Amino acid sequence: MAVMGILLSLAVPSYQGYMLRVHRTEAIRMLLQASMCQQRVYAGRGSYDTNKCHPGSEHKRYEVSYNPPDTQGRTYIAMATPKGAQLADACGSLSLDQSGARSISAGNISVMKCWNGR
């Protein structure tokens, strides 16, 4: 019974970390959708519109917003903010700008590690 307890104490945190990484792909998908939508808006109007392109998800683990909204339409930063259990993810919020630059709100972990699902 003690061996079983030890195995569970090792397996549960590992599984929880795995699920956080898996669910982070939801944020990445939503940010890429927002980016593609903004590029279509730009192609049609010659400027970005941060009032449009707010992809959602049925799971509601992340919320996409534009931070800060650019009233001139020259730039945008789409940010996926974690909600609920996803707040435990070490990467924090993920963001993507009009040039494709990726970033995260956490300072103690690599941007590439978060965006590549590690």
E-strand ranges in the chain read 62-66, 77-82, 94-97, 102-104
The partner residues of 81 in beta bridges, in order of sequence, read 63
CB 77 within 8 A of CB 100: no
| Domain count of the fold of the chain | 1
Q: Tell me which residue of 54, 9, 16 sits closest to 35, measured CA to CA.
A: 54
Between 30 and 10, name the one with better pLDDT.
30
Does residue 73 register a pLDDT over 90? no
CB 19 within 8 A of CB 82: no
**Confidence class of residue 14 from pLDDT cuts 50, 70 and 90?**
low
What is the pLDDT at residue 6? 56
Does residue 13 register a pLDDT over 60? no
What is the pLDDT at residue 58? 84
Assign residue 69 the CATH number of its domain: 3.30.700.10
What is the pLDDT at residue 71? 79
Range of the domain at 25: 2-115
Model confidence, pTM? 0.84
